[in-house]
Amino acid sequence: MSLVVENLIIDHGAIRAINAVSFSVPTGKLTAVIGANGAGKTTLLRGLSGLKEIKSGKATWNGDSIVGKKAENLARAGIMHVSDGKSVIAELTVKENLALTGLWRKDKKDVAAATEEVVSLFPILGERMSQSGGSLSGGERQMLAIGRALVARPKLLLLDEPSLGLAPLIIDQIFNTIKKFVTTMNLTVVLVEQNAMGALAIADEGVVLNLGRVVAVDSAENLLKDPAVRAAYLGY
């Protein structure tokens, strides 16, 4: 039960965005993928969720290959990707946004239960149910995007820069909530972040990407102490 990536190669036009990347994430663990802008972090997640074509290499979730699968089928198999920035449909209400991941699920009782859990995790969403997604603040949008993924009862969560463009106080709140539900829901998480400090603080392990290559894999604790990582990505 884990995510295993081996020698993954993904091209972005003429550029090799992900170059022979290997790492693995054990079940129930949170792995932070950090790196500068353009390191290939977003491309990596888009490859894993089926949005971007994987050129070569292996990627398996619980032993099943995810290479060449359609994004909607991977989503239904429990791999939920919360893409970066405005991953909310502005024209739909908060309630409708949350309902999207429950549409295809057979167990409607559990969809209702999962929705309630999400609302208790992010109470502000409960107050905004009938508002349009476009009327939400940046932090609320991020909560809605994560909440929508959780309604599907995912097993593997791919989070792309949840801290992007948010105020420091909101970032802390989002990171704390992620830490909270990862432990209670036994989720496996790949958290892609430019905010290396915040991400490593809640992660079990870290992968450092630079120009499409893995330059370091270690426990989050060790990476936080590593002088090279500190100088390059933590800024002190």
The residues binding another protein (CB under 8 A) are 49, 51, 70-72, 75-76, 80-83, 87-92, 96, 99-101, 103-104, 132, 134-135, 148, 152
Count CB atoms within 10 A of the CB of residue 98: 23
Q: Which is nearer to another protein, 189 or 229 (CB)?
A: 189
Shortest spacing between CB 236 and another protein, in angstroms: 36
Q: Which residue has the tokens 């909270």?
A: 180
CB-CB contact of 82 with 141 (8 Å): no
Q: Which is nearer to another protein, 96 or 218 (CB)?
A: 96
Shortest spacing between CB 65 and another protein, in angstroms: 19
Q: Which is nearer to another protein, 111 or 214 (CB)?
A: 111
Q: Which is nearer to another protein, 60 or 132 (CB)?
A: 132
Q: Which is nearer to another protein, 70 or 180 (CB)?
A: 70
CB-CB contact of 233 with 196 (8 Å): yes
Shortest spacing between CB 165 and another protein, in angstroms: 18
CA 144 to each of CA 57, 89, 126, 174: distance values in angstroms, whole numbers, following the listed order: 33, 10, 10, 11
Shortest spacing between CB 207 and another protein, in angstroms: 22
CB-CB contact of 148 with 98 (8 Å): yes
* The token pair that represents 18 in the structure block: 């992900």
* The token pair that represents 155 in the structure block: 């097993």
Residues 6+ apart with CB under 8 A from 197: 224, 234
Shortest spacing between CB 195 and another protein, in angstroms: 22
